A and B are shown apart, each in its own frame.
Chain A
């Protein structure tokens, strides 16, 4: 075949990179349409209650405005993900602060804030619930019969843990671990521009991850067929899950305004509104009880995993599912029961954020493994080694790990490269005499790529590669670029498969009138699932051209162009379309929560070094080693960038980012008071990859987008435990929390740590 430089595995330059570095990339707020108006949202100021009256201050010239309420909704007043409980616009009842009630539009953007402030809403307040504990207590029922959105029961081998295991164990170790909400804080806020025409239907452009999700939402709210709901993703300035389900809300809102005003309407949030009103990472509480042997083997476990879903169901069942499956960690459990539930509170609904339940449950198990180690007097790495899953083992859901898994070797390599043992000993020696206490900690973990179980089968993703009029291949997918490198890797895969230069391959802007549904851009599925489909579509295209007789077996790019042009001349178009083919071997039982949870897993060991300043009680990550086995590295620069970015976000999750709600109102909805790491706060990061090719992905690739979010937080708190001698089990861990604990221990030294 044609000899050419390898493209997959090479750091091909970002496809849309030149536009980004020159400021030419067009994000939604950069766009203006002729006759465009602007929208704004009137929101609930109370966490729960009934709307009693809505009055409009006569000081505003309301005749200039379009006003939309729930009554204007042509279809169903619901944003449906899993259930229909979330209204598109509240009418009658509100269940969280910032719940949308009315929409306004006006030709002058500057006129809107005063108008929003001039809508007076009177409520009859009802008692609200803000914590997992309050929700569980069911003193106040705020959702359904029992405030519970969803429950799962995972039992290894579908059996409860036998009593005798608890009774005969050498040791029982128990712990409770908590994680807080986290704001995605993409630097580009949510925004869309909508157009409505009675003949053509709706067009929405905007910042989003999943154009087809918005198509469905629009079809539902407007009672229109999907073909009349066109969605176009504009260049998106960060997403991280925060633009997975939320665009369904803002997109329907803008479309309603466009419908009623007769104008295109731009609805772009500012930072304060975006932070107050959109989804966050689910807070969690995990209680773990383990029976262990004296030499550190896990004998049995019971894990109680609870997440706070906010006011409406939205994606909570799916987050819960992933959290549940990852709760056991990368370990072998002879017996295990995981009881999981998602509960309701009167906070804006929580949603997707990179990791999607796994960072929460992995935080718990990785802290717990260290607790087991300390309780038994064993080294943390030893306890992990003695329990690692390996090739041929079955996971807690009963999935056979037929691909090679060697966490033992990964751990050894990570310990060596980070100088773990030397540093651990050195810190132990130096800490007593030092004002800066240092520590080094480990996390070992995994992350399933793709949708859970039969999810990919249900998605039935479709990919097309077509030839442009000039004979260039153009990829048509609904998979979106938002920094992770979708455009680049898919073009690399196609280029290599087609034996063409990377620069010759195009990828279309995701426009649902042009591209098929290749599924949402979530769940670390794009490289593996969609990438594989791109590879197949490219092979199919090649075979079509080959069969036409105009493409020689050994062809140059010029030959390809010539053959393509001839084919187009003869047939008018060439579209190579493929659909996802589930591997027959994948089997998942949703009811029993057992079977093959994911087609593939990435495996990782992360090591964090911290320094805790005893004057200020602030902990800083000073060095970081991230080693992961990912199947195949499609683009080293992009892959490394993904890991580094995920580490920084997870450092924020562990040490800096706290959502402070006061009576359901987000008090710190500004960048000044919601603290993410700056360039001066990140450690040196040492990222390395190993590759055990997986049959499901192109070139063997698995997913990596979410993996780096899972490991840093527990590794950091494990390190802080070495540094301070205190076991902290709640994140975000702020200096004030460290101070409070140190204070408590100094005044009552006999107490054990919280």
Chain B
């Protein structure tokens, strides 16, 4: 334990409005902390730079899963366990439920929030690929009001998001329009459980008479941000599933991927395995 807890401050205003007020007008900078499964690791290691934190844990206004006839709206403080337990998500958005099931351990899933996962913005994060292929929208909120944007535009560059300093991620919206799509997600980690992703691929596709009418592919750890793979998609859109198109899609993926070598894996492995995962999916269509 390399931090001195006495040198840190953590406040927990009782409402979302109160939190937003602090973020908007406080002269001190407060860093939001939800389940803490990311920030507390840095804290334990002596690397948590921000000394003032503001807790989002316990704010019921942020922890909800609302189902309407055409959408599922997930509050940013929903934990991965909340997501795994929601029947509609499990049935209609299985890629997200599965991503939640392999995020850390059960003990971590009981605390880690989808908002934290997104805002921490690691390119290896587990939920973004699923959210990207589901065309998720994110709603951001501040004392000034709220705005909604496609999740696809949320990650700007490595660990940098579209959030303004006074904004919080409020919710993630999934439209209930993937009925009839084939869905696929697979994570390649260092072991079967509790593993950081070396790469992961999510995909949804609508196929009609062997022609791919719609396809969305997203990956973790292939770029500096969680990313859709537009070149691979273009190689497949309105094309049949065939040995040629599979080969072209693989080549397009490998060309547009820019993974890195790090202590967990190599760039070459990541790109080629991602291509294998894509091929694995395409062969089920």
Is the beta-carbon distance between A113 and B6 smaller than 8 angstroms?
no
Q: A113-B3, A114-B4 are in contact. Are A615 and B264 (CB under 8 A)?
A: no
Q: Tell me the chain B residues, 23-64 only, with Cβ under 8 Å from chain A.
A: 45-46
Is the beta-carbon distance between B188 and A113 smaller than 8 angstroms?
no
The answer, yes or no, to whether A587 is at the interface (CB within 8 Å) is: no
The answer, yes or no, to whether B273 is at the interface (CB within 8 Å) is: yes
Distance in angstroms from A652 CB to nearest chain B CB is 9
Q: A616-B276, A679-B193, A739-B269 are in contact. Are A660 and B4 (CB under 8 A)?
A: no
Distance in angstroms from A458 CB to nearest chain B CB is 42
The answer, yes or no, to whether A504 is at the interface (CB within 8 Å) is: no
A616 to B200, CA, bound (A): 11
Distance in angstroms from A225 CB to nearest chain B CB is 38
Q: Tell me the chain B residues, 53-89 only, with Cβ under 8 Å from chain A.
A: none
Q: Interface readout for B2-30 with A: 1 if CB under 8 Å, 0 if not? A: 11111000000000000000000000000
Chain A residues with CB under 8 A of B188:
616, 618, 735
Chain B residues with CB under 8 A of A109:
1
Q: A680-B192, A681-B191 are in contact. Are A736 and B45 (CB under 8 A)?
A: no
Q: A272-B45, A615-B273 are in contact. Are A680 and B193 (CB under 8 A)?
A: yes
Is the beta-carbon distance between A617 and B190 smaller than 8 angstroms?
no
Distance in angstroms from B101 CB to nearest chain A CB is 12
Q: A618-B188, A656-B190, A675-B190 are in contact. Are A113 and B272 (CB under 8 A)?
A: no
Q: What is the total number of residues of chain B having a CB less than 8 Å from a CB of chain A? A: 28
The answer, yes or no, to whether B118 is at the interface (CB within 8 Å) is: no
Chain A residues with CB under 8 A of B279:
615
A619 to B25, CA, bound (A): 54
A698 to B191, CA, bound (A): 41
Is the beta-carbon distance between B2 and A675 smaller than 8 angstroms?
no
Is the beta-carbon distance between A736 and B196 smaller than 8 angstroms?
no
Is the beta-carbon distance between A678 and B273 smaller than 8 angstroms?
no
Is the beta-carbon distance between A736 and B191 smaller than 8 angstroms?
no
Is the beta-carbon distance between A735 and B269 smaller than 8 angstroms?
yes
Is the beta-carbon distance between A113 and B2 smaller than 8 angstroms?
yes
Q: Interface readout for A652-691 with B: 1 if CB under 8 Å, 0 if not? A: 0000100010000001101011010111110000000000
Which of A113, A616, A617 contacts B4 (CB under 8 A)? A113
Chain A residues with CB under 8 A of B191:
656, 675, 677-678, 680-681
Is the beta-carbon distance between A678 and B194 smaller than 8 angstroms?
yes
Q: Interface readout for B251-285 with A: 1 if CB under 8 Å, 0 if not? A: 00000000000011110110011001101100000
The answer, yes or no, to whether A125 is at the interface (CB within 8 Å) is: no
Q: Interface readout for B201-237 with A: 1 if CB under 8 Å, 0 if not? A: 0000000000000000000000000000000000000
Is the beta-carbon distance between A110 and B190 smaller than 8 angstroms?
no
Q: Tell me the chain A residues, 399-447 only, with Cβ under 8 Å from chain B.
A: 435
The answer, yes or no, to whether A111 is at the interface (CB within 8 Å) is: yes
The answer, yes or no, to whether A743 is at the interface (CB within 8 Å) is: yes
Q: A678-B192, A739-B269 are in contact. Are A668 and B263 (CB under 8 A)?
A: yes
The answer, yes or no, to whether A589 is at the interface (CB within 8 Å) is: no
Chain B residues with CB under 8 A of A678:
191-194
The majority secondary structure among interface residues of chain A is loop
Chain B residues with CB under 8 A of A617:
269, 273
Distance in angstroms from B196 CB to nearest chain A CB is 6
Q: Tell me the chain B residues, 178-206 only, with Cβ under 8 Å from chain A.
A: 188, 190-196
Q: Tell me the chain A residues, 613-659 only, with Cβ under 8 Å from chain B.
A: 614-618, 620, 656
Is the beta-carbon distance between B268 and A743 smaller than 8 angstroms?
yes
Chain A residues with CB under 8 A of B196:
672-673
Is the beta-carbon distance between A615 and B277 smaller than 8 angstroms?
yes
Q: A110-B4, A616-B276 are in contact. Are A681 and B193 (CB under 8 A)?
A: yes
Chain A residues with CB under 8 A of B193:
678-681
Chain A residues with CB under 8 A of B264:
673
A673 to B188, CA, bound (A): 15
Residue of A nearest to B270 (CB): A736
A615 to B184, CA, bound (A): 14
Q: A673-B264, A675-B190, A680-B192 are in contact. Are A270 and B1 (CB under 8 A)?
A: yes
Residue of A nearest to B195 (CB): A675
Which of A114, A670, A736 contacts B269 (CB under 8 A)? A736
Chain B residues with CB under 8 A of A675:
190-191, 195
Number of A-B contacts (CB under 8 A): 71
Q: A677-B191, A681-B191, A743-B268 are in contact. Are A616 and B3 (CB under 8 A)?
A: no
Is the beta-carbon distance between A270 and B266 smaller than 8 angstroms?
no
Distance in angstroms from B124 CB to nearest chain A CB is 11
Is the beta-carbon distance between B4 and A111 smaller than 8 angstroms?
yes
A582 to B179, CA, bound (A): 78
Chain A residues with CB under 8 A of B2:
113, 270
Distance in angstroms from B202 CB to nearest chain A CB is 15
Distance in angstroms from A615 CB to nearest chain B CB is 4
Most buried by B among A672, A677, A740: A672
A618 to B279, CA, bound (A): 17
A567 to B263, CA, bound (A): 66
Chain A residues with CB under 8 A of B46:
113, 117
Distance in angstroms from B6 CB to nearest chain A CB is 7
Chain A residues with CB under 8 A of B4:
110-111, 113-114
Chain B residues with CB under 8 A of A656:
190-191
Chain A residues with CB under 8 A of B194:
678
A678 to B263, CA, bound (A): 20
Is the beta-carbon distance between A736 and B266 smaller than 8 angstroms?
yes
Distance in angstroms from B83 CB to nearest chain A CB is 20
Q: A110-B5, A113-B3, A113-B46 are in contact. Are A739 and B190 (CB under 8 A)?
A: no
Chain B residues with CB under 8 A of A668:
263
Which of B3, B5, B45, B272 contacts A739 (CB under 8 A)? B272
Distance in angstroms from A618 CB to nearest chain B CB is 7
A667 to B263, CA, bound (A): 7
Chain A residues with CB under 8 A of B6:
110
A185 to B25, CA, bound (A): 47
A660 to B266, CA, bound (A): 13
Q: Interface readout for A741-754 with B: 1 if CB under 8 Å, 0 if not? A: 00100000000000
A617 to B2, CA, bound (A): 38
A109 to B46, CA, bound (A): 13
A679 to B106, CA, bound (A): 13
A675 to B190, CA, bound (A): 7
A36 to B44, CA, bound (A): 23
Is the beta-carbon distance between A616 and B273 smaller than 8 angstroms?
yes
A460 to B190, CA, bound (A): 46
Q: Tell me the chain A residues, 700-754 only, with Cβ under 8 Å from chain B.
A: 735-736, 739-740, 743
Residue of B nearest to A116 (CB): B2
A743 to B277, CA, bound (A): 16
A91 to B189, CA, bound (A): 43
Is the beta-carbon distance between A660 and B263 smaller than 8 angstroms?
yes
A616 to B271, CA, bound (A): 11
Most buried by A among B45, B191, B193: B191
Is the beta-carbon distance between B263 and A673 smaller than 8 angstroms?
yes
Distance in angstroms from A730 CB to nearest chain B CB is 16
> Which 6 residue pairs of A and B lie closest in terms of their CB atoms, listed nearest first?
A680-B193, A680-B192, A110-B4, A113-B2, A615-B276, A678-B193
**Which A residues are closer than 8 A to B by beta carbons?**
109-111, 113-114, 117, 270, 272, 435, 614-618, 620, 656, 660, 667-668, 670, 672-673, 675, 677-681, 735-736, 739-740, 743
**Which B residues are closer than 8 A to A by beta carbons?**
1-6, 45-46, 188, 190-196, 263-266, 268-269, 272-273, 276-277, 279-280
Between-chain CB contacts (< 8 Å), 18 pairs = A110-B4, A114-B4, A270-B1, A272-B45, A614-B276, A616-B277, A617-B273, A618-B188, A656-B191, A660-B263, A667-B263, A675-B195, A678-B192, A681-B193, A736-B269, A739-B272, A740-B268, A743-B268
A673-B264, A681-B193, A736-B265 given; name 12 further pairs at CB < 8 Å: A110-B6, A270-B2, A616-B273, A673-B196, A675-B191, A678-B191, A678-B194, A679-B193, A680-B193, A739-B272, A740-B269, A743-B272
